[in-house]
């Protein structure tokens, strides 16, 4: 399912939200809409109401981490449709989603009315008579999807794999300030600090140089560098290198460390503050590769190819 359809205009939806008082934009952005600019949904407005560059997804989705047992995490997303969807948590406004947007928040484990509604005014069914209760468990993430519609609620639970396939081309909702009292700031398992970004960069067997990083992973690395240089309240960067199961333990430890060092050096050369990189280590054979056949004939086995990597964790 594509996040950005071509059958409706982004400007029309934003104008509808402005007219209803759901959001406000800088004067320059409002003038652009009133002047009849032909902005489609694939044109993204940033936090200042400015148009992002072609092909850029502002505040794009990054896989969420595991929350602490005292919280349950909700990822609410709206892949495709024509109308704004108002999100309520226990009868109070959490956000308003446009097609192609998502929101992430946490609640205390237990039963909660968490739904989205189309054209909810003037009756405000989502506030007065919510239809569904979601029973949440601690340390658990739930993905809720807004399906296309015109009235009422179309909210449904989704599998993580299905949800994250859609979320890859979506952007974070940033116009509406949460007003739902039951919504809590998410706290994550790793050190109690939110994991802002996680990526894995893969290498060919036996290689650790920058030039050997696989093309798809180089694209990921470019994204990481852009994210880090934009600020994003980054306080900690961890780099952990691994290898496949082929070769002896000592050689694999050195290789994994060399891979982590390569990524560290690349980040620094790109202008990333080296003081943010608090951990650079090689762990040798990856745990998910330990059960692989440890010979060159099986170097293309998925468990081996996935082991030849550096994990980047940004907090």
167 and 206 belong to one structural domain = no
82 located within any domain: yes
pLDDT (tens digit per residue) in 113-135: 999 999 988 888 788 889 889 99
DSSP the chain: --SS-SSSBHHHHHHHHHHHTS----HHHHHHHHTT---BTTS-B-TTSPBPPTT--TTB-----PBPTT-EEEEEEE-S-SS-EEEEETTEEEEEEPTTEEEEEEE-SEEE-EEEEES-TTT-HHHH-----EEE-TTEEEEEEE-S-SSB--EEEE-HHHHHHHHTT-EE--SSPP--TTEE---BTTTTS---EEEEEE--TT--SGGGS-HHHHHHHHHHHHHHHT-TT---EEEEEEE-S-S-HHHHHHHHHHHHHHHHHHHHHTT--GGGEEEEEEEEE-GGGTTS--SGGGTTSHHHHHHSEEEEEE-
pLDDT at 137 over 70: yes
Question: Residue 83: what pLDDT?
Answer: 95
Looking at residues 136-150, what average pLDDT do you find? 95
57 located within any domain: no
pLDDT at 12 over 50: no
Question: Residue 60: what pLDDT?
Answer: 74
Confidence tier at 258 by pLDDT (50, 70, 90) = very high
Looking at residues 234-263, what average pLDDT do you find? 93
Structural domain total, the chain:
2
pLDDT at 55 over 60: no
**CATH number for the domain harbouring residue 275:** 3.30.1330.60
Confidence tier at 48 by pLDDT (50, 70, 90) = very low
136 and 234 belong to one structural domain = no
**CATH number for the domain harbouring residue 164:** 2.60.34
pTM for this model (two decimals): 0.49
Question: Residue 190: what pLDDT?
Answer: 62
Domain final residue, candidates 159, 184, 209: 184
117 located within any domain: yes
Question: Residue 108: what pLDDT?
Answer: 96
174 and 201 belong to one structural domain = no
Give me the chain's average pLDDT, please.
79
- Return the higher-pLDDT residue of 152 and 174: 152
Confidence tier at 195 by pLDDT (50, 70, 90) = low
106 located within any domain: yes
pLDDT at 37 over 70: no
Q: Which domain, by its residues, includes 239?
A: 197-314
């Amino acid at each position: 399912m594509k996040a950005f359809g071509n059958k409706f205009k982004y400007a029309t939806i934003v104008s509808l939200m402005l007219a209803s008082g759901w959001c406000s934009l800088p004067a320059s952005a409002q003038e652009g809409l009133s002047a009849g600019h032909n902005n489609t949904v694939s044109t993204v407005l940033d936090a200042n109401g400015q148009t992002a560059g072609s092909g850029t997804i502002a505040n794009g989705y990054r896989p969420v981490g595991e929350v602490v047992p005292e919280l349950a995490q909700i990822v609410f997303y709206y892949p495709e449709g024509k109308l704004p969807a108002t999100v309520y948590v226990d009868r109070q406004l959490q956000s308003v989603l446009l097609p192609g947007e998502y929101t992430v928040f946490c609640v205390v484990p237990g039963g909660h009315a968490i739904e989205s509604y189309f054209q909810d005014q003037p009756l405000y069914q989502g506030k007065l008579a919510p239809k569904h209760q979601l029973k949440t468990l601690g340390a658990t993430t739930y993905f809720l999807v807004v399906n296309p519609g015109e009235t009422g609620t179309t909210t449904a639970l989704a599998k993580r794999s299905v949800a994250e396939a859609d979320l890859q081309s979506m952007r974070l909702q940033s116009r509406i300030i949460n007003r739902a009292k039951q919504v809590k700031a998410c706290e994550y398992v790793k050190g109690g600090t939110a994991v802002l970004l996680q990526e894995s960069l893969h290498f060919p067997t036996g290689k650790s140089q920058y030039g050997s990083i696989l093309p798809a992973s180089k694209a990921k690395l470019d994204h990481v560098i852009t994210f880090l240089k934009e600020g994003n309240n980054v306080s900690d960067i961890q780099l952990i290198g691994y290898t496949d199961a082929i070769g002896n333990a000592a050689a694999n430890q050195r290789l994994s460390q060399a891979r982590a060092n390569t990524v560290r050096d690349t980040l620094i050369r790109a202008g990333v503050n080296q003081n943010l990189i608090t951990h650079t280590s090689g762990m040798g054979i990856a745990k998910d590769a330990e059960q692989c056949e440890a010979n060159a004939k099986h170097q293309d086995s998925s468990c081996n190819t996935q082991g030849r990597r550096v994990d980047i964790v940004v907090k």
